[in-house]
Structure 1
């Protein structure tokens, strides 16, 4: 049996394969006895033994060769071992030589180091003694003395001179002298700050700089100032101290038991006296010291970067004051909240008095009191505005004056502080908005508020009174702004002015304006019923009066001005309303005049008189008709147009006139014969519909095309009826139409 077959048989046999596992387990079985297992194991061993014998017999030559090679390998390994032992012995000898050299070199290095230390000690000792001799010879030169003391101190710190008797006494005297010099300079610094002696202050800082302790001395000095200041602030805000001072100075009532009663007003007055005195004396003097420190350090450029002494001190002061306020009793904090502007004024006055750049109050430390102050100020501003509206009545002058007084006070107390002024200006704007809103809510929008036939109704009178009250309110605020304009920041003025910008009586006046314009349009429409316009009389050498419709218009305008418009006091809105009415009246008058037909020479003379009289009719509304601008120029142009012939009209239009081509062409139709129909007649419209069309079609191109349609129809009529000649006005109209179209291009 081949060896491979034997191995395969063992691996595949369930019994033998268990002996191939790691670790080998005890083979037990219920069906196989121990004797059988031993027998099977013996058979397997015999098979393996026979297989090994067969392999040895088959490859005995190879096995003998390998055995001889093993013997050679053992000889080689023995030779290597001998050489290794020889190498180790040589290495041990070399190591002994290296270790001996290293120990010798180490000893010499230690000796050299000790020699160097000794030399340095001698050198330092020599330098110390030289500097000490120089120091002993110095008199009245603290700065130079400080420099030598610093150098000596550095030399003593470089090495440990303990045990050198020669220097022990010097070291002790150097330390004593440095301490003495530092104490003297510190005392001189304090006295210099108190006396304001800048020369001595600079001398102190030179000493500190040479002693390399400038920062430490500045910090100590500033902390000392702040500590004293904290005590002064605490005393000024201490309610018990304030109460004692009030009782000493008050002439208050003596209650039963002879208890001196302190009123809230007395307490408030004394508290603010303490605060103002604190800022004027203690805080000012402390800040002055910090500024002096800053100035002295800045002048000595070699000292280093200590350029924020005053700024840091100021921030610490603000923090210190706010901290003490936080710890103060509630009535003290409430007094600060109510009169927060006074506290800001104290800070701002102090800053202006110090005249130190880059210093400003850190408002973040006082946010609590500022917000409370602004909240109470807003409530104070809104209260008189809300309280004046009772039972849906119109507020009287006294109530409005009271609200104005509160607004003026709010703007005045913020003078000198831009940020607070802007915040209060926003609060004032809210009170103005509240007044506007309250007024708008009470305005009546019933159907009768725009009637101009009967006397003013109660709704109209109430609307006028509300507008007048609002106008008086806004005008008084504007007067306050004028008085305070040079004192208030422009941002504050603009905020209040912006809140007033949209407040006007114009919305109510516009209701009257529309009614008045509609009535004026109806009166002007009757122009076409005037019989004088078709008379064939000669107007020369006759005194002509205005037409009846113009007299009616004049009476109507005067009546509206005296009865309805006179109820309003807002001159600006009233003037704007009057201008709107006057412009609309002139525009509609021109439209009607340009479309009156038939029209004789006498009728044109009458219309000229009406043009002049229209200025008189509108005089109750407008003081100077020149203010109407283009409308007035067009009225004057129409007046000149009425006395010219068609050729003269066309020539004047070519030379440049104020009236648009479309209206001039409509007017020339009145010079033509009956067959040349007016544009609105061609369209089948009455004069009222023409006016409506002109109101909604103000574009000159559309109007020219409207007139061109009538000319085209007339041209078709002439051709169809084979009429020999055109109307003499027709060529002029064609030329004007062409010129008008060119101007549009």
Structure 2
């Protein structure tokens, strides 16, 4: 059995394996006696010994070789040990040669250091004595005294002069003189700030600069001012103190049952008296001091850069005021929220009085109270608007006047502050929007609200009343804006004006407008049933009147203006509605006249008379027909067109006319024979369908192509039937078509 197998056998044996583990526990087996265990251990040791013997016998040559090498190694080690001992002896000799000069040099260096220290002490002592003598000669010049004291303090702080009796008294007096000078200058600084003595302030800062304590003194001065202000603010907002003062002032004057009300009102008055006094006196005085401090420091460029004294002070002041407000009782906080513009006025008046670029309003410090004020203001603005609709379907003018009064008050209380004015203007805009929404929700849009046959219904009258109340509301607000225009910021005025743009009676008036226009279109349609338009006799010398449909139109327009449109008070909206009706009426009249078939000379004269009477028929709704614009020019052009021949008409069109080529061509078909059919006749349309098509196709290109189709059909008819000549109107129509197309391409 080789060595490996012996090792494996011992490792796998349960008894032997216990001796291969490091353990402090006893290794006596429970199932074997001690003698058996000893025997087994002896057997194992014997096996290991025999295994070792076999390995030694097998490797004896290698072991002998290794033994000889060990002897060589021991010889080498002995030689190296001798060399190391020799090296150590050399090192000790070298150390002795270095140590002696080093200790000698160290001793000399210490002596030199002491000599230098002594020389420096002597020089400093001489300098101190010299400066002390100078100090005695400059007692009347604080700035120079400060310079010398600063130099003395620097010299004294450089070394420890303890034990030099010559300087003991001087050092004590230097410290004392510096403290006295600093104390006197600080006192003079406070007095100068209070009295506004700029010359003495400059003197103080020169002393501080020479003593190298400018920053410290500025900070101490500003901190002192801020601390005094904090106390003043706290006292002004002290609800207990205010209540005591109110009780003292109201004692013996309170009526039974009114004590709480009077005390509450007097508390508010006393609180605001304290706040306004705080700004007029304490804060104003403090700001004046800091501004003077800043100005003096700015003039003394040599003392350093202290450009933010006033700015930092103002930021701290705003923060301190906000902090004290935050800690104040609810009674004070509520008073501030209610009369927040009054607080802003205190700040703005102070800033206006100070006129300091470093003082700017920090609204973030007052955000809580501003938001609360704006929230309550919005509720106050919306309350009269909401309440007026709860009482009735149509609010009274008194209720509207009350809402406008609240709006005017809201705009007026913000006159001193632009940002607050803009915020309140936005709240007013919300109020106006609410009024508009409430009105729109109550306006009926049922099918019968636009009837113009019977007298106005209750629904129509209610719609008109709602529109009139909304118009009254809008006009009253515009009047307020006019009165306050020079006082309010332009942005605030613009916000309110923009909110009024959506208020108009036009939506309801447009319902009447559509009904009126439809009825007018029906009346104009009867033009084609007038027998006079096709009479063949000569009208010369005859007294002719307008056509019956024109008389009906005149009566209808006058009735609508008086009965239906007359219910509305918004003149601008009514005029716009009337102008829209007049334009549509003239446009449809021109279209009908250009498509009357047949049309004789007598009929053209009759239509000329109708053109004149149309102006009279529309006069109840349009006082100045020239305001109608393009449609009125077309009416005048049609009046001239009715008395011209086709050739003259073509010539006038080439020279420039108000009527479009398509309508002129439709009119010229009336001069043609029966073979040249009108465009709508070619299409198999009635006049009603033609009017509908013209209403949906307002582009001149579509209309020209519609007329061109009739001409093309006539041309095909002539060719197919071998007719030798065209109708005399046909060349005129072709020329007008070509001219019309050219005009479109320009």
TM above 0.5, one fold? yes
Match of 2:519 in 1: 519
Quote the Cα distance in structure 2 between the aligned partners of 1:196 and 1:11.
108
Residue 109 of structure 1: aligned partner: 109
The answer to whether the 8 A contact 2:611-2:639 is kept is yes
Q: How does 1:518-537 map to 2 (within 5 A)?
A: 518-537=518-537
C-alpha distance in structure 2 between counterparts of 1:692 and 1:259, whole Å: 79
In structure 2, do the counterparts of structure 1 residues 617 and 358 end up closer, same or farther at CA, with 3 Å as the change threshold?
Answer: farther
Deviation by residue 1:342-392 (Cα, 9 ceiling, x = unmatched): 111111011001101132222222222222211221111111111212343
**Residues 247/65 of structure 1: CA separation in 2 closer, same or farther (3 Å cut):** closer
- Name the counterpart of 2:422: 422
Q: Deviations over 1:173-219 (max 9, x none)?
A: 11111111111111111111111111111211121121122222122
C-alpha change, 1:723 and 1:207, in structure 2 (3 Å) is: same
**Deviation per CA, 1:300-339, whole angstroms, max 9, x where unpaired?**
1222232222222222222222333333333222222111
2:493 is the counterpart of 1:489: no
Task: Check conservation: 1:185, 1:207, Cα contact below 8 A.
Answer: yes
Q: Indicate the residue corresponding to 2:233 in structure 1.
A: 233
Aligned residue pair count: 737
**Aligned: 1:590 with 2:594:** no
- Mapped contact 1:381–1:406 kept (Cα < 8 A): yes
Q: What is the TM-score normalised by the length of structure 2?
A: 0.93
Match of 2:563 in 1: 563
Cα offset, 1:80, TM superposition: 2.1
Q: Is this contact kept in 2: 1:247–1:262, CA < 8 A? A: no
Deviations 1:477-523 (A, max 9, x none): 11111222222122211221121111111100011000110011111
TM-aligned CA deviation for residue 234 of structure 1: 2.9
Residues 646, 668 of structure 1: 8 Å contact kept: yes
CA distances 1:542-574 after superposition (whole Å, capped 9, x unpaired)? 443222211211111111111111111112211
Secondary structure of 1:134's partner? helix
Q: Using the alignment, how far apart are the partners of 1:149 and 1:24 within structure 2? A: 88
1:138 paired to 2:173: no
SS in 2 for 1:445: coil
Equivalent position SS for 1:390 = helix
**Range with greater deviation from structure 2 (96-105 or 208-217):** 96-105
Matches of 2:143 and 2:662, distance apart in 1:
99
For 1:702 and 1:163, locate their aligned partners in 2 and report how far apart those are by CA, in whole Å.
120
- C-alpha contact (below 8 Å) 2:152/2:174 kept by paired residues: yes
Residues 532 and 603 in structure 1, CA contact (< 8 A), matched pair in contact too: yes
Q: Is the 8 A contact 1:18 1:24 kept in 2?
A: no
Q: Quick one: distance in 1 between partners of 2:367 and 2:12?
A: 95
Q: Is the 8 A contact 2:10 2:17 kept in 1?
A: no
Are 2:417 and 1:413 equivalent residues in the alignment? no
- Cα 1:222–1:530 shift into 2, 3 Å: same
Matches within 5 A, 1:154-193: 154-193=154-193
Moved more, 343-352 or 92-101: 92-101
State TM-score, norm by structure 1: 0.93
Tell whether 2:480 aligns with 1:480.
Answer: yes
User: Which residue number in structure 1 is paired with residue 442 of structure 2?
Assistant: 442
The aligned runs of 1:282-321 (5 Å cut-off) are 282-321=282-321
Q: Secondary structure of the equivalent of 2:389? A: coil
Residue 686 of structure 2 corresponds to: 686
Aligned counterpart, 2:653: 653
Contact preservation (8 Å) 1:243, 1:262: no
Tell me how far apart the structure 1 counterparts of residues 636 and 198 of structure 2 sit (CA, whole Å): 83
1:38/1:177 CA distance change after superposition, 3 Å: closer
Deviation at 1:652, TM superposition (A): 1.8
Q: SS at 2:312's partner residue? A: helix
Is the 1:255–1:261 contact (alpha carbons within 8 Å) kept by the matching residues of 2?
A: no
Return the alpha-carbon distance in structure 2 between the equivalents of residues 51 and 347 of structure 1: 108
Check conservation: 2:247, 2:263, Cα contact below 8 A. no
More deviation in 695-704 or 358-367?
358-367
Deviation at 1:79, TM superposition (A): 2.3
Taking structure 1 as reference, are residues 22 and 160 closer, same or farther at Cα in structure 2, changes over 3 Å only? Answer: farther
Is 1:127 matched with 2:127?
yes
Q: Secondary structure at the match of 1:707?
A: helix
Which residue matches 1:452?
A: 452
2-structure distance, mates of 1:33, 1:717: 143
Residues 316-355 of structure 1 mapped to structure 2, 5 A cutoff: 316-355=316-355
Greater alpha carbon shift after TM alignment, 264-273 vs 634-643: 264-273
Measured in 1, the distance between the counterparts of 2:637 and 2:714 equals 28
Tell me, what secondary structure is at the counterpart of 2:539?
A: coil
SS at match of 1:388: helix
Deviations for 1:443-467, whole angstroms, at most 9, x for unmatched residues?
1223321111111111111111110
**How much has 1:539 moved relative to structure 2?**
3.3
How far did 1:238 drift?
A: 3.0
- Contact kept in structure 2, 1:246 and 1:262, CA below 8 Å: no
Contact kept? 1:242, 1:270, Cα under 8 Å? yes
| Structure 1: runs of 5 or more not aligned | none
Q: 2:545 matched to which residue of 1?
A: 545
Contact 2:6 2:51 in 1 (8 A): no
C-alpha root-mean-square deviation of aligned residues, in Å?
Answer: 2.8
1:49 aligned residue (47, 53, 56): 53
Asked whether the 8 Å contact 2:3–2:51 carries over to 1, the reply is no
Aligned twin of 2:608: 608
CA distance in 1, matches of 2:275, 2:254: 28
For 1:466 and 1:261, locate their aligned partners in 2 and report how far apart those are by CA, in whole Å: 41
Structure 1 position 385 matched with structure 2 position 389: no
Distance change (3 Å), C-alpha of 1:262 and 1:425: same
The residue aligned with 1:711 is 711
Give the deviation of 1:226 after TM superposition. Answer: 2.1
Contact (CA 8 Å) 2:517, 2:585: kept in 1 or not? yes
How many angstroms apart in 2 are the aligned matches of 1:546 and 1:615? 12
The 1-side partners of 2:121 and 2:477 are apart by 86
Shift of 1:588: 0.6
User: Cα gap change, 1:622/1:47 in structure 2, threshold over 3 Å: closer, same or farther?
Assistant: closer
Distance change (3 Å), C-alpha of 1:340 and 1:18: closer
How big is each residue's C-alpha offset from its partner over 1:61-93, in whole Å with a ceiling of 9 and x where there is no partner?
Answer: x87776555544433332222121111111011
Q: Distance in 2 between matches of 1:74 and 1:689?
A: 135
Q: Please give the alpha-carbon distance, in whole angstroms, between the structure 2 residues aligned to 1:7 and 1:630.
A: 128
Q: 1:693 to 1:184 in 2, by over 3 A?
A: same
Instruction: Verify the 8 A CA contact 1:671 1:729 in the aligned structure 2.
Output: yes
Whole-angstrom CA distance in 1 between matches of 2:744 and 2:79: 125
